[in-house]
Structures are given as structure tokens and as C-alpha cells.
């Protein structure tokens, strides 16, 4: 009798699980391919390349100046006093540090520019995905290019409850 109750319970639970899953339609999309096919993305890529090239040109000027200082130091080092060698050595080190700092700043600026250019494009794509999902009755949309959940019913958002359980505000 006990086995019968357990089997009946498992069968009923399974039936409810299947019924609950049948109510949520699932779709997938390659969001990366979608964004890549948008004309705005192609223009943003061109703008980003132009911006990066302008920063690179400025960096090249600094490298050329550094190379000139090193060459001049190598040529005149034999005739310089120790004090002059030390001063010129510091100038070269400072130039090298400026180049390194510039490269780091330029990389950050390119990343920031990329975010600024692509955010409206991603937002537009996400809005379109959400609208289509709503029109077609999909509760979940999975990004097949990255395996990310893009659309879900707002009632299923567990973030606030999990944060409360962990004591995070």
C-alpha cells in the first residue's frame, strides 16, 4: 500500500510538472547574428575603427619622439657627463612611461567608445526580441549564440528573493 501511494504521488507530481512546462513556450535566437546584421552595427564598427586609428596615430607620434630621444642618447652618450646621462636617461624613462600610460588610456577610451556605440544597438535588438516574443506568446527566449536567457516573465525573476535570503540589499 505504501508503494502505491508513493507511485501515485510521483505520477501526479510529474503530471503537474509537464502541465506547468507546457504553459511556457520557449524560443531561441542567435542575438549575435541579429546585431551583426543590423546596419547600425556596421556603422558603429566603422566609427570605432576610425576612432581607434586616430588614437593610434597620436600614439605613433609619441613613439617616434621616444625613438628619436633614444637614438640621440646612444649617439651622444660617449661625450656626455654622468649628470647629463642621468638626466637624459630619466627623460627617456618618462617618455616610455607616457607611452605606456597613453596606450592604457587609449585602450580604455576605445572600450568606452565601443560600449557607447553598441548600447543603443543592443537595446534596440533586445526590444525587438521582447516585442516578437510577446506577440508570438513566448515566455522564454534563449540566445543560442551564448546560451543566455533574454526574455522571461517578470513573475519568475528570483533575484530579489535570492538577495533577501543572502542578506544583500
What is the count of structural domains for the chain?
A: 1
Could you tell me the three cell numbers for 127?
526590444
Q: Is 20 domain-assigned?
A: no
139-143: Cβ within 8 A, 24+ apart = 139/23, 139/24, 139/25, 139/26, 140/24, 140/25, 140/26, 140/27, 141/26, 141/27, 141/28, 141/29, 142/26, 142/27, 142/28, 142/29, 143/28, 143/29, 143/30, 143/31, 143/32
Which pLDDT value is given to residue 127? 87
- The single residue listed with the C-alpha cell 506577440 is 135
Which pLDDT value is given to residue 14? 53
Which pLDDT value is given to residue 156? 41
Each residue's pLDDT tens digit, 91-133: 999 999 999 999 999 999 999 999 999 999 999 888 888 888 8
Q: Is 29 domain-assigned?
A: yes
Q: Helix-strand-coil percent breakdown of the chain, rounded to 5?
A: 80, 10, 10
Among 22-26, 63-67, 71-75, 86-90, the minimum mean pLDDT is found in 22-26
Q: Is 7 domain-assigned?
A: no
CATH number of 76's domain = 3.30.910
Which pLDDT value is given to residue 150? 64
d(CA 84, CA 19): 85
Each residue's pLDDT tens digit, 27-81: 888 888 888 888 888 999 999 999 999 999 999 999 999 999 899 888 888 888 8
Could you tell me the three cell numbers for 114?
565601443
Range among 8-12, 16-20, 47-51, 125-129 rated most confident: 47-51
The residue among 140 and 147 whose pLDDT is bigger is 140
Instruction: Please enumerate in sequence order all residues whose Cβ is within 8 A of that of 83, keeping only pairs 6 or more positions apart, or say none.
Output: none
Which pLDDT value is given to residue 5? 40
Which pLDDT value is given to residue 13? 55
Which pLDDT value is given to residue 154? 52
Which pLDDT value is given to residue 161? 55
Domain housing 43: 25-166
Q: Is 2 domain-assigned?
A: no
Mean pLDDT score, 82-97 = 91
Which pLDDT value is given to residue 28? 81
Q: Is 6 domain-assigned?
A: no
Q: Is 70 domain-assigned?
A: yes
Cα pseudo-dihedral 51, 124, 41, 118, rounded to 10: 30
The residue among 84 and 8 whose pLDDT is bigger is 84
Amino acid at each position: 500500500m505504501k508503494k502505491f501511494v508513493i507511485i501515485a504521488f510521483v505520477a501526479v507530481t510529474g503530471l503537474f510538472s509537464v502541465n506547468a512546462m507546457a504553459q511556457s513556450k520557449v524560443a531561441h535566437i542567435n542575438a549575435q547574428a541579429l546585431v551583426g546584421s543590423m546596419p547600425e552595427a556596421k556603422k558603429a564598427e566603422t566609427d570605432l575603427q576610425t576612432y581607434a586609428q586616430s588614437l593610434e596615430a597620436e600614439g605613433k607620434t609619441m613613439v617616434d619622439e621616444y625613438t628619436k630621444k633614444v637614438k640621440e642618447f646612444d649617439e651622444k652618450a660617449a661625450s656626455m657627463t654622468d649628470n647629463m646621462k642621468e638626466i637624459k636617461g630619466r627623460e627617456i624613462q618618462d617618455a616610455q612611461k607616457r607611452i605606456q600610460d597613453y596606450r592604457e588610456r587609449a585602450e580604455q577610451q576605445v572600450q568606452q567608445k565601443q560600449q557607447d556605440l553598441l548600447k543603443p544597438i543592443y537595446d534596440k535588438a533586445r526590444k525587438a526580441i521582447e516585442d516578437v516574443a510577446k506577440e508570438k506568446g513566448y515566455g522564454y527566449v534563449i540566445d543560442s549564440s551564448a546560451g543566455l536567457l533574454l526574455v522571461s516573465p517578470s513573475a519568475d525573476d528570483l533575484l530579489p528573493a535570492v538577495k533577501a535570503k543572502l542578506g544583500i540589499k
